[in-house]
Chains A and B, each alone.
Chain A
Amino acid sequence: MAELSVIGQRVPRVDAWEKVTGQAKYAADYSLPDMLWCKLLRSPYPHARILNIDTSKAKKLPGVRGIVTGKDFGGWSWGWMPATRDETPLAVDKVRYMAEAVAGVAAVDEDTAEQAAGLIKVEYEELPGVFDPEEAMKDGAPKVHDYVKNNISVEYHWNFGDVDKAFAESHIVREDRFRTARATHGYLEPPAILAYYDPTGYITVWASKQSPYFHYRHLAACFKVPLSRVRVIQPFIGGGFGGTKNDSLAGDFCAVLLSKMTGRPVKYIESMEEELATSRRRHSVIVYSKMGVTKDGLLKAIQHRVVADGGGYTAIGPLSMYLNGFMTTLPYKLPHFKFDAYRVFTNNPIGAAMRGHGVTHTRFAAEIQMEMLAEELGIDPVEMRMRNAIDNPKPGEIYETINKVTLKTCGLKQAIKEAVEDPLWRDRDKLPKKEGAISWGTGISGSSYSGGARQMGHQACAAIIRLCEDGTVNLITGATDCGQGSDTVLCMIAAEELGIKLDDVAIKRVDTAYTPVDPGSYGSRVTILAGQATQKAAREVKKQLLETAAANWQVKPEDIEIRLGEVFVKSDPEKKMPFIRLARIACYSGTGAVIMGTGYSSYGIEHLDLTNGIGNGGCSYSFTAHTARVGVDMETGQITTTDFTIASDCGRLLSPVQAEGQIEGGAIQGLGQALYEDFIMDRGKTLNPTFLDYKMPHALDVPNIKLIDIVTDDPFGPFGAKETSEGSIVSAPPAVVSAIHDATGIWFKELPVTPEKVVKALKEKK
């Protein structure tokens, strides 16, 4: 690859200044004159029929300007696929989970809105609820939706190879039941929106959305206005991580409708308690894993039966279940694979997407079970992984899994090698094993995650670059930076391609009235897809500039080079000019020359068979080897994590500071899922909807993190980039659980591994 000037540099984020000075505006920071405040009334039951809603008392409260209930939305419903449009902006006939919204109020201030919401009288007929997905699947269980049988919201049945034969031929076969926690995103910014439905029929919203164009479609469809009249202006986003901020929420629809009714802007901010009680969180998944290996520890087959708690609605569930399965054939060679997935409706809050979407569950199960088998066989866990790890395909060659996932690069073996050469693993036996009540252990895991997620339908991803006459450029994309740093990366790509300085590239937030349509941020798609689009747009601008310069110097365009703001003739470097001058010549030549470039991504557009799990769900795949050291207090069960070493093949790190931050952040979010985070539910009620009780890692909980870069140069990513952070959120729980096993001799199969579980297991072991 040619020498790079901007890519790979340790530059600050392009939005850092605004964020450290408090100038970055998030949705809740926007206000308009004459604005009203919206509050919602939520259901006190997890499953109940709505018999009547009486708003008369609330209407009379001074300061109330409007009230909406489910019926006011005219029967409109939405969902991820046409067949799963089972959700309405507000519950209409029945509520299906606790705290589902049933009415919205607009009033002159927040307190009045809240008070009015409390005055709305809803008559409910409580229905028997079902809260456990395995119970919900049984005949005779309460029905959450009438349109499906046995509450099964999504199911897939895939069968690759011949698992029965493979199990029969295996030296050992294990069957275990694993379960992942009820974990949530835990961003600090609760969802918020400021909406204005102006009398001429335009909808404008400032909303905390990491997929603003999903929201734009939802609003257009719900309010029956043309897309060209829906303007989602994107503020800064205070963290996303999938799920809730990909979707539209009751508060959004209510704010827009109340604005339409009152003719005034309406603002809605969810309280953190509402957010935690209703977030579209990660599914909690039960994985029945059956794994067979040869005498030498080679994987013969995996059979997974997964049962996911879907909660009250389908949302993005079809994709979640697909992701539970399709990457199980990575990162180890797997000749036979069977997958039966059930996403089941319950009267719990909705299960949806979260960073590490789908894979977290099944990779946790497979990784731990593989180590259990290694233990039975007396094979070292590193050796076990090395024997099974997929090799890095030679340049130009492709590795294909049994379900037709194709890899052009795979740095797993290299990652494992480097992770175990690191002192944390290499010298683990030199460190104390026991100190007082603390027992120390070291563990390892491997993972893979796709980058450049694809989905059926609207995959469009484009960039526009506009040259200004002073040599700076505007980069316009529909891609969303919800904190991950993609705006910085995209600006770096534009600067690199154009040969200008990073400071000379300006990017603004998405505005659906001006920026190209884009699915938003999920599945680690932005750097890869919007990155490629940006690359192409920049090349188009550059082509026009080279032609101008060539004409000016009477040479051929290919004889000219642009680098860090200097334009020169390669063979005659005396012939040169600053970029700004070339920009001026280009912009002023002829009449009204407008130098613009457009590009759209072309990666990963081949057919994807989601229902049958065949093909690539992404463009390229990251590979991670992760080691961890923990201390377990054998009396109290408290676990301290002191070290993580994470060797990741994330391809080339385009913006190392941002990429490292992603890997570290993903790993710590994964640590939370391994040890702390779980919603405690009692018959549909969330007992811990606060940060005090839903415990996310604090600064004191975090280990020292050492990162090792394994650079493969994937052809399906701009400059060889792959995903970051989803690999490390997937690798963290099995690495920690493997370390806990090393310390205690116990395999924990349910997350999170809380002190209570440890104490109980230690007692049972004795």
Chain B
Amino acid sequence: MKEINLTVNNQPYRLSVPPRRTLLEVIREDLGLTGTKEGCGLGECGACTVLMDGQAINSCLVLAAEADGKQITTVEGLASGDKLHPIQQAFVDHGGLQCGFCTPGMIMSAKALLDKNPTPTEEEIKQGITGNLCRCTGYTKIIESIKAAAENMGGK
């Protein structure tokens, strides 16, 4: 067991975790934040994407111990009260989701992208979400949603 301290959605946590526990397991099972999804568990689908110190990472590949001292943001940390984050709102308005299973990870990848590059080209958007699979939408409306979010956030 290892003692770790981490901040998730601005809440500090102190946990003692077995050495092989992943950050995804900590988020979903220990903290009960089930918005972050497990698709493949192998770093191949992006459903488990969260931000760690602002970087989009596959939380299924990161050991909880590696998150010691880090700032984590999950999909639950985006909206303020009833007000959706502009990226979430754009996904709602532009049909950027269907089954919704890829959506939390997709939105976190979009956030990491727009935080770094507020005015991405279409190609850069595609690059930004290339680690996130979506089987339902064919991506078209996801790309449109991210474009609209960038515009609404004043990127253009």
Which residues of A are interface residues toward B (Cβ below 8 A)? 12-13, 15-26, 28-29, 185-190, 236-241, 269, 271-273, 482-485, 657-658, 660-662, 664-669, 690-692, 696-700, 702, 705
Contact = CB atoms under 8 A, between A and B. Distances in A.
Contact of A17 (B37, B41, B84, B141): B84
A206 to B, nearest CB: 13
Most buried by B among A17, A666, A669: A17
Contacts of B104: 20, 22
B64 to A, nearest CB: 15
Given A22-B35, A238-B100, A664-B140, A188 B95 contact: no
A665 B101 contact: no
B136 A699 contact: no
Interface string B10-39: 000000000000000000100001111111
Contact of A238 (B33, B37, B44): B37
26 contacts: A13-B95, A13-B98, A15-B100, A16-B97, A19-B100, A20-B89, A21-B75, A21-B79, A25-B34, A188-B133, A236-B100, A240-B99, A272-B45, A657-B95, A657-B141, A661-B95, A661-B137, A661-B141, A664-B137, A665-B137, A668-B138, A690-B42, A699-B125, A699-B132, A700-B126, A700-B130
The 5 A-B pairs at the shortest CB distance, nearest first, are namely A22-B35, A483-B99, A238-B101, A19-B100, A668-B138
Contacts of B93: 12
Given A661-B95, A699-B130, A22 B135 contact: no
Contacts of A188: 37, 39-40, 45, 47, 99, 101-102, 133-135
A269 B136 CA distance: 21
A241 B84 CA distance: 30
Contacts of B35: 21-23
A389 B88 CA distance: 44
B95 A699 contact: no
B65 interface: no
A692 B42 contact: yes
Given A12-B93, A16-B91, A188-B47, A483 B98 contact: yes
Contact of A20 (B39, B42, B88): B88
B86 to A, nearest CB: 11
Contact of A705 (B34, B37, B125, B140): B140
Contact of A700 (B39, B107, B127): B127
Nearest to A192: B38
B135 A187 contact: yes
A272 B42 contact: yes
A666 B98 CA distance: 12
Given A20-B104, A700-B127, 4 more contacts: A21-B35, A188-B135, A483-B98, A483-B136
Contacts of A28: 34, 37-38
A21 B88 contact: yes
Nearest to B94: A657
B6 interface: no
Contacts of B42: 272-273, 690-692
Per DSSP, chain B at the interface is loop
B138 A664 contact: yes
B76 interface: yes
Contacts, number: 178
A698 B84 CA distance: 27
A571 to B, nearest CB: 40
A115 to B, nearest CB: 13
Nearest to B143: A699
Given A22-B35, A188-B39, A692-B44, A668 B95 contact: no
A271 B41 contact: yes
Contacts of B44: 690-692
Contact of A189 (B39, B75, B130): B39
Nearest to A240: B99
Contacts of B74: 22
B99 A238 contact: yes
A702 B138 contact: yes
A186 B42 CA distance: 15
A304 B77 CA distance: 56
B95 A12 contact: yes
Given A188-B102, A272-B41, A699-B142, A20 B107 contact: yes
Nearest to A707: B140
B101 A189 contact: yes
Interface string B113-156: 00000000000011101101111111111110000000000000
B103 interface: yes
A189 B99 CA distance: 9
Contacts of B39: 188-190, 272, 691
Contacts of B95: 12-13, 657-658, 660-661
B75 A665 contact: no
A237 B136 CA distance: 12
A638 B47 CA distance: 28
Given A189-B99, A237-B99, A657-B95, A665 B136 contact: yes
Contacts of A692: 42, 44
B98 A705 contact: no
Contacts of A23: 35, 76
B9 to A, nearest CB: 11
Contacts of B129: 699
A19 B140 contact: no
A269 B34 CA distance: 14
Contact of A19 (B76, B94, B97): B97
Nearest to A190: B39
A41 B98 CA distance: 33
A186 B97 CA distance: 16
A286 to B, nearest CB: 26
Nearest to B103: A19
A640 to B, nearest CB: 13
A691 B45 contact: yes
B126 A699 contact: yes
B133 A272 contact: no
Given A187-B99, A238-B99, A483-B99, A26 B126 contact: no
Given A660-B141, A690-B42, A696 B103 contact: no
A27 to B, nearest CB: 11
A409 to B, nearest CB: 26
B98 A484 contact: yes
B35 to A, nearest CB: 2
B84 A21 contact: yes
Given A188-B101, A483-B98, A690-B42, A12 B92 contact: yes
A240 B142 CA distance: 19
Contacts of A691: 39-40, 42, 44-45, 133
A62 to B, nearest CB: 16
Contacts of B38: 28, 190, 269
A190 B134 CA distance: 14
A691 B38 CA distance: 13
Contacts of B47: 188
Nearest to B100: A19
B34 to A, nearest CB: 4
Given A20-B88, A21-B84, A696-B133, A702 B76 contact: no
Contacts of B102: 188
B84 A20 contact: yes
B140 A696 contact: no
B34 A669 contact: no
Contact of B138 (A482, A665, A700): A665
Given A236-B100, A702-B139, A22 B33 contact: yes
A485 B139 CA distance: 16
A239 B98 CA distance: 8
A693 to B, nearest CB: 9
B126 to A, nearest CB: 4
A28 B45 CA distance: 17
Contacts of A700: 126-127, 130
A37 B101 CA distance: 22
B101 A239 contact: yes
